């Protein structure tokens, strides 16, 4: 009998080209899952897939801009065509553009809503029927949908209004979806990281980026692997256990 809890399962991870997404893909592959890597950057996806294969796992790179509903649906369909099932969806793709309402642009707000909300809805809608089927046919008798929130969804701060809006709204969406799917044995979970050392800050303008880095200079930030561990814990529980929400802050983080 396999010692890997996800042996035979298929997981799709969005935003899998770097940071938390890449770390999560590697973690799920170590647990025995075949992993579908979805993001826009083909070269980065290929590198993550190569790393997983080099460690004895199986990964498939599917480049897609999931803000396009057809591309999101296509990524799910390609998963089914190539691997035949979908047991785990990790909605990790997201962007954080911090600035005050006075100094930002509507285009920046639209970018966050497009990726953090619309893209997540597109791929979730396409995946749910397959997750339900997986829960009813797999030896585990359960499937998982994990949404990536943020501590900013709980505590808004100046400059994070729309980013916090997307993450706070995601919390409500996740809870409603959890209640809808509980009878189908599809567990729906929200993971809310605090400060993590990822590329999110790199997307900020220079002034805001420098201010953000000064703010966290006195703490040891979480690593992407710390959040991947949280996701790995959630999806490897036996079906009687549902971890529906997990807030993971850096040990020295006060906000």
If residue 206 lies in a helix (H) or strand (E), which one and from where to where? helix 206-215
Rounded to whole angstroms, the Cα distance separating 146 from 164 reads 18
Per-residue model confidence (pLDDT) at position 206 = 57
The residue assigned the tokens 């075949």 is 34
pLDDT in tens, 155-176: 888 888 999 999 999 999 999 9
Summarize the confidence of residues 101-129 as an average pLDDT.
Answer: 96
127-to-13, 65, 77, 214, 243 alpha-carbon distances in Å: 12, 16, 9, 40, 20
Residue for token pair 């050392």: 197
pLDDT of residue 198: 63
Residues noted as catalytic: 163
Cβ-count burial 106-140 (b if 16+ within 10 Å, e if not):
eebbebbbbbbbbbbebbbebbbebbbbbbeebeb
Helix (H) / strand (E) containing 89 = strand 88-91
Provide the mean pLDDT of the chain.
92
Mean pLDDT over 99-106 rounds to: 90
Q: What is the DSSP code string of 93-123? A: --------TTTS-HHHHHHHHIIIIIIHHHH
pTM score, two decimals? Answer: 0.92
Q: How confident is the model at residue 1 (pLDDT cuts 50, 70, 90)?
A: very low
Taken in order of first residue, the domains within the chain and their CATH numbers are 10-239 (3.40.50.720)
């Amino acid at each position: 009998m396999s010692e890997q809890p996800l042996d035979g399962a298929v997981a799709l991870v969005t935003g899998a080209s770097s940071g938390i997404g890449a770390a999560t893909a590697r973690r799920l592959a170590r647990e025995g899952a075949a992993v579908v890597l979805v993001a826009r950057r083909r070269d980065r996806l290929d590198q993550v897939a190569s790393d997983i294969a080099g460690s004895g796992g199986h990964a498939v790179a599917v480049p897609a801009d999931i803000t396009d509903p057809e591309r999101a649906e296509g990524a799910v369909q390609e998963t089914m065509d190539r691997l035949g099932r979908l047991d785990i969806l990790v909605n990790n793709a997201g962007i954080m553009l911090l600035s005050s309402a006075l100094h930002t642009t509507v285009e920046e707000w639209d970018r966050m809503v497009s990726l953090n909300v619309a893209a997540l809805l597109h791929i979730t809608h396409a995946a749910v029927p397959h997750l339900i089927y997986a829960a009813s046919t797999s030896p585990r008798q359960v499937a998982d949908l994990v949404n990536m929130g943020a501590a900013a969804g709980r505590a808004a701060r100046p400059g994070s209004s729309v980013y916090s809006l997307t993450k706070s709204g995601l919390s409500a969406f996740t809870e409603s979806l959890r209640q809808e799917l509980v009878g189908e044995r599809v567990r729906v979970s929200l993971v809310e990281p605090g400060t993590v050392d990822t590329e999110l800050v790199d997307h900020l303008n220079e002034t805001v980026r420098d201010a953000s880095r000064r703010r966290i200079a006195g703490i040891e930030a979480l690593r992407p692997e710390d959040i991947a561990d949280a996701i790995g814990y959630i999806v490897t529980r036996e079906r009687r256990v549902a971890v529906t929400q997990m807030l993971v802050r850096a040990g020295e983080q006060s906000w």
